């Protein structure tokens, strides 16, 4: 197989997934509790416009962005930590974000707009910083220490979250719990713009160290001997993936499974080279969360169900069937 054929395969994969993502977005913005159509919105129906462009489209787009972000972060962590079980939340990002959000709820701040996402993002950044400080010694970041620090901090955060819930007012708890389980309710265009910018910057940054990250999968000594500045690559990779994860979590709450599952799905369907995985995971993660969010809205009409449940409901059967096929 020539280099050109390999690149065509990547382009083909990107085109296919982009098409599927477009279809998923169209489906997600068309379906919902109210029956409105894009045709009506285009021909000047104000209500249809308000629902489709004001509510459903930003929500569907935000779902795609959150899914893309989590999958990109997941594949980065798996590559950096050389661990197939790594997910975007493994370094305490979700715990830190949830901790911030639950403290804000306990303090009665949950009703002020934008406060919970902001504090959640601060919590995510704080947790990442803490995990890094704990794992770093003598200018060396030990992957095992990173994992352990993330695990232990997540346990600590869980304790803080439980205590915060205990002292929160009953009326605030519903929103906090919904956030913890992942929700895109109330998505705005400004969320979409902000996360788009972050995701583009992060993906470009990760692509710029793509060759080095691929070499890291052979081990740190091996990569060093190939001229890779290993500590720099680890630092850039971890920080970039953590910041975008924090941003995604702050707008969507905690949506599990995407970051762990999508990279494995893509690996089984295409190649295992990080440079292939990056764009394909972004698209795959987007598709999964758009569909999961759609299901969470339409399965029952009386309320919304957690998105995280549907990423698993959709992803697991697909994953298992691929696992069986790949020996």
Q: To the nearest whole angstrom, how small is the minimum distance from the Cβ of residue 11 to other proteins?
A: 12
- Cα–Cα distance for residue pair 324/322, rounded to 1 Å: 5
What is the footprint of other proteins within residues 244-273 (CB under 8 A)? Answer: 267, 271-273
- Residue where the block lists tokens 């697991």: 316
If you count them, how many residues does the chain have?
327
Q: Which is nearer to other proteins, 32 or 210 (CB)?
A: 210
Bridge partners of residue 141, in order along the sequence? 136
- Cα–Cα distance for residue pair 25/10, rounded to 1 Å: 22
Residues 277-316 as x/- pattern, contact with other proteins by CB under 8 A? ----------------------------------------
- Cα–Cα distance for residue pair 236/240, rounded to 1 Å: 6
Number of residues that bind other proteins (CB under 8 A): 33
What three-state secondary structure class fits 255? coil
Question: In sequence order, which residues have a C-beta less than 8 Å from that of residue 319 and are 6 or more positions away?
Answer: 261, 264, 265
- Cα–Cα distance for residue pair 258/92, rounded to 1 Å: 16
What three-state secondary structure class fits 223? helix
Residues 190-209 as x/- pattern, contact with other proteins by CB under 8 A? -----------------xx-
Q: To the nearest whole angstrom, how small is the minimum distance from the Cβ of residue 152 to other proteins?
A: 23
* Interface with other proteins (CB under 8 A), residue from 18, 30, 49, 83: 83
Instruction: Point out which span in 42-50, 76-84, 108-116, 176-184 binds other proteins (CB under 8 A).
Output: 76-84
Q: Which is nearer to other proteins, 132 or 276 (CB)?
A: 276
Q: To the nearest whole angstrom, how small is the minimum distance from the Cβ of residue 221 to other proteins?
A: 5
Q: Which tokens is 106 given?
A: 């306990």
Terminal-to-terminal C-alpha distance of the chain: 24
Q: To the nearest whole angstrom, how small is the minimum distance from the Cβ of residue 267 to other proteins?
A: 6
Q: Which is nearer to other proteins, 11 or 42 (CB)?
A: 11
Q: How many CB atoms lie within 10 A of CB 306?
A: 20
Rule CB under 8 A: is residue 7 a binding residue for other proteins? yes
- Exposure b/e, 96-108, CB count within 10 A at least 16 = b: bbbbbbbbbbbee
Q: Which tokens is 49 given?
A: 């416009």
Residues 208-247 as x/- pattern, contact with other proteins by CB under 8 A? x-xx--xx-xxx-xx-xxxxxx------------------
- Cα–Cα distance for residue pair 100/253, rounded to 1 Å: 12
**Do 250 and 65 touch, CB atoms closer than 8 A?**
no
Q: Which is nearer to other proteins, 121 or 274 (CB)?
A: 274
Residue 51 is given by DSSP the state I
Q: To the nearest whole angstrom, how small is the minimum distance from the Cβ of residue 228 to other proteins?
A: 8
Rule CB under 8 A: is residue 82 a binding residue for other proteins? yes
Q: Which is nearer to other proteins, 55 or 268 (CB)?
A: 268
Q: Which residues sit at the interface with other proteins, rule CB under 8 A? A: 1-4, 6-7, 78-79, 82-84, 207-208, 210-211, 214-215, 217-219, 221-222, 224-229, 267, 271-273, 275
């Amino acid at each position: 197989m020539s280099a050109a054929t390999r690149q065509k395969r990547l382009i083909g994969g990107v085109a296919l997934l982009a098409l599927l993502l477009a279809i998923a977005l169209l489906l997600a913005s068309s379906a919902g509790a109210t029956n409105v159509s894009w045709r009506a919105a285009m021909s000047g129906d104000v209500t249809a416009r308000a629902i489709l462009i004001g509510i459903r489209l930003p929500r569907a787009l935000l779902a795609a962005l959150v899914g893309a972000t989590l999958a990109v972060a997941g594949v980065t962590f798996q590559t950096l930590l050389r661990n197939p079980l790594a997910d975007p939340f493994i370094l305490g990002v979700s715990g830190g974000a949830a901790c911030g959000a639950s403290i804000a709820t306990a303090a009665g701040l949950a009703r002020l707009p934008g406060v919970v996402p902001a504090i959640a993002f601060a919590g995510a950044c704080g947790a990442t910083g803490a995990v890094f400080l704990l794992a770093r010694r003598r200018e060396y970041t030990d992957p095992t220490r990173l994992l352990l620090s993330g695990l232990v901090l997540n346990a600590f955060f869980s304790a803080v979250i439980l205590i915060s819930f205990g002292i929160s007012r009953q009326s605030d708890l519903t929103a906090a719990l919904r956030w913890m389980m992942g929700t895109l309710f109330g998505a705005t265009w400004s969320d979409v713009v902000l996360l788009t910018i972050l995701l583009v910057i992060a993906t470009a940054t990760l692509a710029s160290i793509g060759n080095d990250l691929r070499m890291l999968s052979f081990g740190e000594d091996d990569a060093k001997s190939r001229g890779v500045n290993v500590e720099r690559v680890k630092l850039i990779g971890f920080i970039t993936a953590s910041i975008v994860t924090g941003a995604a979590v702050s707008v969507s709450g905690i949506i599990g499974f995407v970051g762990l599952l999508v990279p494995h799905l893509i690996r089984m369907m295409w190649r295992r080279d990080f440079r292939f995985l990056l764009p394909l995971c972004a698209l795959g993660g987007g598709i999964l969360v758009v569909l999961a969010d759609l299901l969470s809205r339409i399965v029952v009409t009386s309320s919304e169900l957690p998105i995280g449940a549907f990423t698993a409901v959709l992803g697991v059967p697909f994953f298992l069937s691929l696992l069986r096929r790949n020996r």
